[in-house]
Amino acid sequence: MKIVVLKFGGTSVGTISKIKKVAKIIRDYKKKNYSVIVVSSAMSGVTNELIKKSQEISKNFSPSEYDALISSGEQISCSLLAGRLIDEGYMSRSWLAWQIPIFTIGSFKNSRINKINKIKILKYLKKGGIPIITGFQGINDQQRITTIGRGGSDASAIMLSKFFNAIRCIIYTDVEGVYTTDPNKLKKAKKIKVISYEEMLEMASLGAKVMQPVSIQDARLNRIDIEVKSSFVKRSGTLITKRSNISDNKIVTGISSTLNDAKVTLVGVKDRPGVAASIFKPLSKNLINVDMVVQNISANGKDTDLTFTIKSDDLRKTRKIIKDNKSIKFKKLLLEKEVSKVSIIGVGMITTPGVSFRMFQALAKKKINIKVISTSEIKISVLVDKRNTKKALATLHKEFKLEN
């Protein structure tokens, strides 16, 4: 059996006419003699409406009942989709997570798939059936419905691909794939044909919203090829696979940028162990997420400057925490509310020297000032004025030949 797993997101099954289109996509795979396993999210809007109801009932709605409540969303979309395929003469049925079952571990609202019983679904596939499986959910060892906190239905699709040895996992969504950069910010952005898990992870964590990092990581660990494509436009999407499957690695695969970042610099901090911790501990306690952190080696061996970025919304709170906490010693506090992190990502840069130099030079030529630099194995990030974001994106997109 050549098994493919097709996952449809909430917007893909958002209306009755969209569900009919999805049925057509499924039929096309079936006609090509694939054994098709379908995973569906809830119709877009349904889950939010249920969450709203729960909040009206209780400000602190029980997590176990929350899972029982919102899991109904996928039950609705899956039975409608199966009903459509049956209407068209196909053998299909909805499979609710408990009917398979799909077992999860962890807590309510935040569980993860641990085991999938393959027997019934394999038998059903062998008979030629098209199972439509509820994404985003499972049952725990108490037979209670659980939902998958992060990754949602994508995570369901990836784990199903793993357990059933699918030759491919296709994530149908409302975008055509992964782009070299956000097409809303740069018109010249191109769809990436193939990208490694690692690059995709960096893209995702830096703001490309196609898939959640946790799902990409699951796919990477289980070596599952993922294709991200549109359920509305019939074009090839983006293949996410392991590095060794990619022949022509570009130096840079994609460029991402963040918005609404703020920069905080503490000038003249004592350069001794435990100082950074004394600053970040109260921030973490207050759920303030610290992103880039840069600390220079102190010239005099006593003082140092510490810079980090946070979300702009957290700036006022952060300022108060630092000012109020007497154990944090520094000479001066510098705040910049509107900065943007621009990052180039590519596995090619591991083997190509001088990439950072090219990046810095290209930005300098356009008079874009770099405030902070941070690098990882396959990524270089710089902090620039927010007003320079688009210019920086365009400059780097051209410099690294992503427009071709």
Residues within the interface to its own copies (CB under 8 A): 16, 19-20, 50, 53-54, 56-58, 60-62, 64-66, 68-69, 71-72, 75-76, 78-80, 82-84, 86-87, 93-94, 96, 98-99, 143-145
- Nearer CB in complex with its own copies: 96/155: 96
* Closest distance to its own copies from the beta carbon of 77 (Å): 10
Number of neighbouring beta carbons within 10 Å of residue 209:
10
**3 state SS of 331:** coil
- DSSP for 6-71 reads EEE-TTTTSSHHHHHHHHHHHHHHHHTT-EEEEEE-PPTTHHHHHHHHHHHH-TT--HHHHHHHHT
Q: How far is the CB of 363 from its own copies (least distance, A)?
A: 53
According to DSSP, the β-strands at 303-311 and 293-295 are antiparallel
Which residue number, 71 or 196, has a Cβ lying nearer to its own copies?
A: 71
Phi, psi of 20 (to 5 degrees): -65, -40
Q: 57 vs 350, which CB is nearer to its own copies?
A: 57
Nearer to its own copies, 70 or 393 (CB): 70
- Report, in Å, the least distance between residue 217 CB and its own copies: 31
Rounded CA separation 161/238 (Å): 17
Assign 380 to helix, strand or coil. strand
Other residues' Cβ atoms within 10 Å of the Cβ of residue 394: 18
| Cβ distance to its own copies smaller for residue 92 or 318 | 92
What is the closest distance, in whole angstroms, from the C-beta atom of residue 139 to its own copies in the complex? Answer: 9
Q: How far is the C-alpha of 170 from the C-alpha of 282, rounded, in Å? A: 42
- Cβ closer to its own copies: 65 or 303? 65
Tokens 């990208």 appear where? Answer: 195
Nearer to its own copies, 65 or 338 (CB): 65
User: Least distance (Å) from its own copies to the CB of residue 5?
Assistant: 21
- Strands lying side by side in the sheet with 110-116: 110-116, 102-107, 137-139, 145-147
Quick one: which of 201, 162, 160, 161 has its CA closest to 178? 201
| Closest to its own copies by CB, 153 or 258 | 153
Minimum CB separation from its own copies for residue 300, in Å? 58
Give the residue ranges of DSSP H helices in 58-107. Answer: 63-70, 72-87
* Smallest gap from residue 48 Cβ to its own copies (A): 14
Strand stretches in 135-251, DSSP E: 137-139, 145-147, 168-173, 194-196, 226-230, 238-241
**Dist CA 246 CA 99 (whole Å):** 39
Of 355, 306, 356, nearest in space to 328 by CA = 306
Question: Residue 148: CA atoms inside 13 Å, Cβ hemisphere, count?
Answer: 27
Task: Between 69 and 178, name the residue whose CB sits nearer to its own copies.
Answer: 69
CB of 111 to its own copies, least distance (A): 16
**β-pair partners for 1:** none
327 φ/ψ sector (left φ>0, alpha ψ -120 to 50, else beta)? alpha
Q: How far is the CB of 332 from its own copies (least distance, A)?
A: 49
